[in-house]
Chain A
Amino acid sequence: MSEPFEPKIVGFLCNWCSYRAADLAGSARIKHAPNVRIIRVMCSGRVDPTFVLKALALGADGVMVAGCHPGECHYLEQNYKAMRRFHMLKHALQAMGVDDQRVRLVWASAAEGQQLADAIDQLVEDVRRLGPLNWPANWQEDAQRLKALEKIAHEHAEAMEVLS
């Protein structure tokens, strides 16, 4: 490869803490990797897991979801809901063959510009190491693999107590 791989990462940042942390990183001129492209949502609780899947399906190599620290949510407790969904999402992604290092849930208060910048750099570095996800292009191949898995499940349906 002639050019170094520059991962494309989508960040969903809550309006109150993490988006402001990103603003603070800017005002304080804290340099960080330019690979995370930020989408503002009102709360990390707004992040529907399908947003993450959509981003990956459209060619993103990683996704960051960021919100206020637990206990500091602007909406009292919605970041806990984001946390629960995130765990579920990670399971789903693993099942779909996406390395769970590619998606990350980060807490950053409005005062933590440095921490957010560090988290961005870390995620970019990790995703760079994992290489391009190329999920849609691999779709065909994955579908084949999935079919093979299903076949196995069918073959052993009785033993695995899988109802068809």
Chain B
Amino acid sequence: MAERVGVYVCHCGSNIAGMVDVEEVARWAGANLKDVVVARDYKFMCSSLGQAMIEEDIKKEKLTRVVVGACSPHLHEKTFRRACQNAGMNPYLCQMTNLREHVSWVSVDRKLATEKAKALVSASVERVKRQAPLEPMYVKVNPATLVIGGGIAGLQATLELADAGYHVYLVEREPSIGGHMAQFDKTFPTLDCSACILTPKMSEVGQHENVTLLTYAEVEEVSGSVGNFKVKIRKKARSVIYQKCTGCGICSEKCPRKVVDDVFEAGMGTRKAIYTPFPQAVPRVPVIDRASCIWFERQKCGACKKLCPTDAIDFDQQDEVIEVEVGNIIAATGWKMFDCKRIPQYGYGRLANVYTSLEFERLCNAAGPTGGKIVLRDGKTEPKEVAIIHCVGSRDVKYNEHCSAICCMAALKFGHLVLEKTQAKVYSFYIDMRTNQKGYEEFYQRLLEEGMVFVRGKVAEVTDAARKPSEQGKLIVQFEDTLLGKQQRIPVDMVILMGALEPQADAKEFGLKLGISCSMAGWYTERHPKLDPVATMTDGVFVAGACQGAKDIPASVAQGAAAAARVQGMITKGKVMIEPIVASIDEESCSGCRICNTMCPYNAIEFDPEKEVSRVITALCKGCGTCVASCPAGVITGAHFNNDQIFAEIEGILWDAAASPHGNGSAAAKPQPTAASL
């Protein structure tokens, strides 16, 4: 029986009608396209009246297929599928044609635009006739969640979920949670003590009955899909028995091996070979850094083992790989600091008193290596002049194009701390001041009043080569003041480089494990930059914090909470709909060549050695269709995108071409290439 197709062409006000003769398209479709029984145009098809019109036609005209020529399916496909469903039609028998984004909005010639619109409508009509009713699939959602990264974004997400009564596995690669925020002294613009607002959250997570805290651990492998992920986590050997340790700290105190702490102290301070990164670390259980421990070097010392009151030291401990099952994953893997040595003219690593912003955070931190005293590398001299250079490695095509979002405010904070703690004069070298959140501009005004000197211009060089006696023994900042249009030099004692926030070095590689993609720069890509900033293209995987893009603490907290809210929504629903766009293999005809097996990156195709055929594991299939295109026998079908449908679409879209079987083409003989001819 022939299908009965309804074609609906939307004016979208004048958005489509302004460039496409929509009345003509509808008239033409009704008159020329086979099996079209109704063709209408309407001012706003997505309005309730427009939808009602479609629903009524489905019932009255007994339509079996619907084509809506309107905007992008990414905008309104759901709307029209629902309308069809309301009228008793399977939603997958409705096809959208993109006449707005792909035609009217990009065209300048009304005649050509109308021709293109006709071709697209014709393609949809040919395709929709071959579409099959599909039933959405549902899978149960495991209420446990995996949070990766124990920085402030991850902590917020963890607490939101745990407080709501759901179990959370929190994985952190360092020995303690806290992330970068634990390194800071003050937070802008309110100047709250960072530790005072962070550590209560850390201990809450550490003690929460719904949280399994896995520090000094890394996610190794993720399999499964939304609702039911299986995650392999490597717990690196701490060399300390977690259950026995009381966190008394005697081991660290007595350990004779001191090393420079490159991670938490940013190279500004030292730690022992057995250590917790900082006094408020959660958990309090230390780890032995085997690379620097004397015992692991030459089986001597063992002071920690001898002195531990609870016998918690275990030199023979091995890495342990555990597997957990979760329904959703939140990636909050954070950022890393730009390597300021990459800009040699700023002298970092060569000139002692050039600091990175992280180093300076430690320097002015009351719990830091100098007890919060702002002094030069010699440990005693207070600087008389301090230069802060913005955008080091940010907003620079040579390094990172993005703005690191936090540096202007952090520089203001540093300026304030220097002015408060020392008698020094502070210069800020900025390109643009960006203080665009609540309370930020006010903080900028405050610093202007406090006497911080702002110089608009990029610094060319920081050097110790003096030209004048007044520059002797100083660091000279050479810059162009772009407001004065003048090259100038200022001698200072200390230079702080506001290094860029960069994606973690292994972000791309780790993204592959989670099945999420990165931007060119390496930030994780959210599902939609404005309307869906925490979900990703992989269902059940969410992102929060600076792994998605450079952002400050308030934004990270907001995103962490938002990700948790999304996960809670999934858990409360209990089941999740999966689009039935999956592949299937006709086992009768499968030759068992196994070419498709290697095509699937999700291992969704298994081989049955007994029957010698391949089979699709529907729950794992994401519907890309690559296996469909690869099957030499053509026995794999990609639902909703099968060969029949796509060939029909190609025929329809070329209705006006020479060889089309549909249109006004010539009667030229048209032998067609087949798969075999390849």
Contact = CB atoms under 8 A, between A and B. Distances in A.
Interface of A: 6, 8, 10, 16, 19-20, 22-27, 29-32, 34-35, 37-43, 45-51, 53-55, 57-60, 68-69, 71-78, 81-82, 85, 92, 109, 117, 134-137, 139-140
28 contacts: A8-B657, A26-B98, A29-B106, A30-B106, A37-B116, A37-B119, A37-B120, A42-B624, A42-B625, A42-B638, A45-B599, A46-B629, A47-B629, A48-B629, A48-B643, A50-B674, A50-B675, A58-B657, A58-B659, A59-B657, A59-B660, A69-B520, A72-B517, A78-B599, A81-B626, A117-B106, A136-B669, A140-B669
Interface stretch (B36-44, B213-221, B492-500, B644-652): B644-652
B646 A39 contact: yes
A36 B113 CA distance: 11
Given A31-B108, A42-B625, A46-B624, A137 B658 contact: yes
Nearest to A120: B106
A85 B629 contact: yes
A63 to B, nearest CB: 10
A32 B112 contact: no
Nearest to A16: B537
Interface of B: 72-74, 98, 100-103, 105-109, 112-113, 115-116, 119-120, 123, 508, 512, 515, 517-520, 525, 537, 581, 599, 601-602, 622-626, 628-630, 638, 641, 643, 646-647, 649-651, 653-654, 656-660, 665-666, 668-675, 678
A100 B22 CA distance: 36
Contacts of B98: 23, 26, 38
Contacts of A73: 517
B630 A81 contact: yes
Given A34-B113, A69-B520, A136 B626 contact: no
A60 B641 CA distance: 21
Contacts of A25: 101, 106
A45 B625 contact: yes
Given A54-B672, A57-B670, A68-B517, 6 more contacts: A34-B116, A35-B116, A47-B629, A74-B517, A75-B601, A85-B629
B549 to A, nearest CB: 13
Contact of B106 (A8, A31, A72, A109): A31
B216 to A, nearest CB: 29
B658 A50 contact: no
A39 B123 contact: yes
User: Which of A34, A38, A109 lies at the interface centre, i.e. has the most chain B CB atoms within 10 A of its CB?
Assistant: A34
Nearest to A61: B657
Nearest to B525: A72
B116 A58 contact: no
B601 A39 contact: no
A37 B102 CA distance: 9
A41 B643 CA distance: 11
User: Which of B120, B653, B675 lies at the interface centre, i.e. has the most chain A CB atoms within 10 A of its CB?
Assistant: B653
Contact of A59 (B74, B120, B626, B665): B665
B106 A32 contact: yes
B508 A41 contact: no
A140 B666 CA distance: 14
B659 A57 contact: yes
B654 A58 contact: yes
A139 B508 contact: no
B673 A57 contact: yes
Nearest to B103: A34
Given A37-B116, A37-B119, A58 B106 contact: no
A59 B659 CA distance: 5
B105 A51 contact: no
Contacts of A10: 650, 653-654
B570 to A, nearest CB: 20
B625 A41 contact: yes
Nearest to A8: B657
A26 B101 contact: yes
Contacts of B666: 137
B105 A26 contact: yes
A137 B515 CA distance: 46
A38 B127 CA distance: 13
A40 B670 contact: no
User: Which of B73, B101, B508 lies at the interface centre, i.e. has the most chain A CB atoms within 10 A of its CB?
Assistant: B101
Nearest to B75: A23
Given A25-B101, A69-B520, A78 B113 contact: no
Contacts of B659: 57-59, 135-137
Contacts of A29: 105-106
Contact of A53 (B100, B653, B658, B673): B673
Contact of A8 (B629, B656, B670): B656
B641 A41 contact: yes
Given A54-B673, A58-B654, A60-B654, A75 B622 contact: yes
A42 B678 contact: no
Contacts of B115: 34
A112 to B, nearest CB: 10
A65 to B, nearest CB: 11
What 10 A-B pairs are tightest by C-beta distance, nearest first? A26-B101, A59-B657, A45-B626, A46-B625, A43-B624, A136-B659, A75-B624, A26-B105, A48-B629, A59-B658
B660 A58 contact: yes
B73 A40 contact: yes
A59 B672 CA distance: 11
Contacts of B646: 39, 41, 51
Contacts of A51: 646-647, 650
A134 B670 contact: no
Nearest to A63: B650
Nearest to A56: B673
Contacts of A77: 601
Given A26-B105, A34-B116, A42-B625, A76 B650 contact: no
A67 B624 CA distance: 12
A45 B602 CA distance: 14
User: Which of A35, A72, A76, A140 lies at the interface centre, i.e. has the most chain B CB atoms within 10 A of its CB?
Assistant: A76
Contacts of A55: 650, 654
Contact of B100 (A26, A34, A50): A26
Given A25-B106, A26-B100, A50 B624 contact: no
Contacts of A92: 678
User: Which of B581, B628, B649, B674 lies at the interface centre, i.e. has the most chain A CB atoms within 10 A of its CB?
Assistant: B649
Nearest to A48: B629
Nearest to A29: B105
B651 A58 contact: yes
Contact of A45 (B629, B651, B653): B629
Contacts of A30: 106
Contact of A139 (B102, B103, B515, B669): B669
A22 B101 contact: yes
A74 B518 CA distance: 10
A160 to B, nearest CB: 22
A57 B672 contact: yes
Contacts of B654: 8, 10, 37, 55, 58-60
Given A26-B102, A42-B624, A46-B626, A136 B670 contact: yes
A54 B668 CA distance: 15
A82 B629 CA distance: 10
A85 B112 CA distance: 32
B21 to A, nearest CB: 14
User: Which of B630, B668, B671 lies at the interface centre, i.e. has the most chain A CB atoms within 10 A of its CB?
Assistant: B668
Contacts of A16: 537
